[in-house]
Amino acid sequence: MIKSRIIIIFLITIYWTTTVFYPPALSTDILDKKVEIVLEKGLWRSSGKDISYQDITLDLICHNKNCQSEIWGFAPEFNQAEHQGTVKVNRSRNSLFLQINLNINPDPWLLVSKKANYTIKLVKRNNQFLIGTYQGTINNKFLQGEARASIKTLYPELIRDHKPIEFQEHPRLLFRENQLPALRQKATTKIGQKILKKLQQTLEKPIRYDGYVPNAGYHGAGQCFLAVIKQNPEKAQQAWEVVNNAMNTTYPRLFELSPAVAGIAIAYDLCYDYWDMDKRTLTTNWLAQKGKLLVQGTPDRGWNPTAWSNWNARARGAAGLAGLAVLKEPKAYFSQNIDVEGFLTIAERNIIRYLETVMGDGGFGTEGDHYTTEPMILTLFPFFAAYHHVKGKNFITQESNISQVLPNYLMRIVPRDNNYLIPSYGRHRYYAGGSLFAMGLESVLPKFLPAIMWGFDNYWGENGDKTFGIKSSLDAIFLLINYPKNVSIENPDQILNKVFSDQEKGFYVFRNQWKNKNDFVASIYGRRQFLTSSWSYPDAGSFRIWGLGENWAIAGKSENKAKNENVIIEENVNPITMQPIYFESQKDGSGMVSLQSQNWLREFAVDYSKVSGVPGLFVIVDKFDDNLDSHTWVMNTKKYVEIDHNSFIIKGDKNVNLKGTFMTPQKIDLTYQADEQRIVATGKGDFWVIMTVQKGKIPKLEGVNKGFNSEVIIGERVINFKDNHINFQTK
């Protein structure tokens, strides 16, 4: 009897297992995407007697229901190299089986070369996730463990009906030969002639073969562009003299080499038919060797291979251009047996990782505005264009963060006396300015283009400073190629939302209008991620406020210190990150966001409705979950400041001012550090600050009760703080 019950229970268990936990069938579209597979502890290395294990990520590329036989891996905790191998894929109703042979390649710091093989089984968990196990060997050492995979859209996106390049076909990077007639005709138009005139002016400036951004390669590209457009061999000869000197220059680091390689690759492509075989051979060989070097890296402090570093973007963008320029050239042009497709693939993989890690869904970069936009204009925009033409793949898609870059910056630009600055973040406190727009027009989605062209025209075009954003030869080349035809120009009010967010990085912008220097732009950065080995300032929760022609809350000195940001200064050795827990926006640009760190909540609210009687009302609440005796609140500014008990007044020009009042804490030590141009408030408990910006008379704040139970009235606006949120109501 007991045995019978055991058998029955056993059979029920088997039935339950097979019916409830039977893996669902794989959908066929899995084999039309990228399968990103992580093998937990799939690599090992020894240090003396100790052995350490690291994960490895493998990228399986599938298209049209077939997977490529080539597979690549990356394990940044192990080393900085790309690991190349082969894969055999078998698929059952609900499983993927992979047999992989992989070369574990060395990098400049860890000179380790190994052979690995893995057998992997994955079953479907949901539409975007697979789980399973693996086993394998590395140099005869047995490994096994868990495997997991995520299904991602293929990126860059394949272009339909792309015509592959032919043997020795040039030009091919920025445009194809069949586009030349239209481009030459465009150069004869009114706008085309103005752009070519600006290009010629850049070529009359000094040529730099050294410095942080050598421009010799771009200079050569400008001469070659004129040679092609005007069919002038003399320009090609002038370009060769510059390019030859640049190739014979010694560059101290890959950082400086990158712009030289990028410019020379473009010059080579444009002047190809004008240069003889000796010149082609010399340049082909140089580009191939430098491209390979730029993906390998160098074992010194003059190189940062971290995926999210601007160094990586600079170097790998240039390497990609070099590879795209010399593909399908005669073997006789190469003095070494260099795998051009191989280093081009590595460049592409690094650029994809850069875009996936450093930039958020709104095109905001974690290294700040300077280190985000500089690589764009030096190597990335050229690489995107070249990859489009040569490889038939597009980095600019509806979903890509690249397509958000120019709308992001248009949200923040405020014109001031022919300067088009932004409330910036990060080191150096500036961005690429007009060059970003001159070179980036191709990255803009059609729905945003009328707004972007409004900004371009009013800031740098015929209705602006008339520079067309052109600072370098490359700016002019890109602008002539991509300047749109028959695009209506519309005020961004009609196209863009006045509240902009990069949810992935925690960055928010609130704007009231696009009219003139009096526009209001307020922003706050939560820094959801802290990325090591890159430029990352202590700016979690830092805000900026511009309006009525003045910059009220600004970035302080370009030093990596919390006091130069508008934050709560914490004596914390660990980097602070903040997560958004509440966000709302209004059509007029008003809105609010709550950001939460481990022990600090900051809410930032903006009101442009004028219900309060002022054009700009800003409320900041800081709540703390700790037992510290006091906290320090700082705001950097540039104008004259008066302190009166618990309030401060910043005076601007023409009777414009900002008044800030601390509703809490009850006792506060409020000072203005004139030498640092910084407002500092110290007190115990939470902070509640109300700031109004106006011209002339400052409105009166009427407070009911005290502390966070207060209800503050300004004009017709009623402000209170309930349920961990600032609330705006009307009397």
- Phi/psi at 161 (5° precision): 60, 25
Average pLDDT, the chain: 93
CATH number of the domain at 171-399, please? Answer: 1.50.10.100
pLDDT attached to residue 11: 40
The pLDDT assigned to 523 comes to 98
What pLDDT does residue 722 have?
A: 84
Asked if the 28-152 domain carries CATH number 3.10.20, the reply is no
Tell whether the model's pLDDT for residue 573 goes beyond 70: no
- The residues, ordered by sequence, that sit 6+ positions from 624 with a Cβ below 8 Å of its Cβ are 568, 599, 600, 601, 631, 685, 686
User: pLDDT (tens digit, 9 = 90+) per residue, 636-668?
Assistant: 998 899 999 999 999 999 999 999 999 999 899
Using pLDDT thresholds of 50, 70 and 90, give the confidence band for residue 3. very low
β strands within 448-553, DSSP E: 499-502, 507-511, 521-525, 542-547, 550-553
Phi/psi at 191 (5° precision): -70, -35
**Sheet (strand 717-722) strand order:** 702-704, 711-714, 717-722, 725-730
If DSSP codes are grouped into helix, strand and coil, which group holds residue 639? coil
Query: Which structure tokens are listed for 387?
Result: 């990859």
Measured distance CA(305)–CA(221) in Å, rounded: 27
The strands making up 568-569's β-sheet, listed across from edge to edge, are 568-569, 631-636, 678-683, 668-673
- The C-alpha atoms of residue 245 and residue 254 are separated, in whole angstroms, by 18
Answer whether 621's CB lies under 8 Å from 631's CB: no
Calculate the CA 644 to chain-centre distance.
42
pLDDT tens digits along 376-387: 999 999 999 999
Q: What angle do the packed helices 254-271 and 310-326 form, to 10 degrees?
A: 30
CATH of domain 506-730: 2.70.98.70
pLDDT per position as a tens digit, 257-309: 999 999 999 999 999 999 999 999 999 999 999 999 999 999 988 899 999 99
171: left (phi over 0), alpha (psi -120 to 50) or beta: beta
How confident is the model at residue 263, as a pLDDT? Answer: 98
| Coil, strand or helix at 119 | strand
* Cα gap 180→198, rounded to integer Å: 20
Comparing 23-32, 481-490, 686-695, which segment has the lowest mean pLDDT? 23-32
Comparing CA positions, the residue from 223, 292, 283 lying closest to residue 247 is 283
Q: What is the tens place of the pLDDT at every residue in 322-346?
A: 999 999 999 999 999 999 999 999 9
pLDDT in tens, 137-187: 998 899 999 999 999 989 999 999 999 999 999 999 999 999 999 999 999
Question: Is residue 661 helix, strand or coil?
Answer: strand
Residue 28, pLDDT score: 60
- The band of 10, judged by pLDDT with boundaries at 50, 70 and 90, is very low
Q: How confident is the model at residue 23, as a pLDDT?
A: 56
Q: Specify the higher pLDDT residue, 430 or 18.
A: 430
> What does the pLDDT look like over 23-50, one tens digit per residue?
566 666 667 889 999 999 999 988 777 8
Residue 15's pLDDT is 37
Residue ranges per structural domain of the chain: 28-152, 171-399, 506-730
Regarding beta strands 687-695 and 70-74, do their DSSP bridges make them parallel or antiparallel, or are they unpaired? unpaired
**Percentage of the chain surpassing pLDDT 90?**
85
Residue 22 has pLDDT above 80, yes or no: no
Is residue 429 scored above 70 in pLDDT? yes
Q: What is the pLDDT averaged over residues 198-227? A: 97
Per DSSP bridges, beta strands 702-704 and 414-416 are: unpaired
Q: Is the pLDDT of residue 66 over 60?
A: yes
Q: What is the DSSP string of 212-258?
A: SS--HHHHHHHHHHHHHHHT-HHHHHHHHHHHHHHHTSPPSSHHHHH
Report phi then psi at 700, rounded to 5. -85, 140
Average pLDDT over residues 120-130: 85
Rounded (10°) CA dihedral 510, 513, 516, 518:
-60
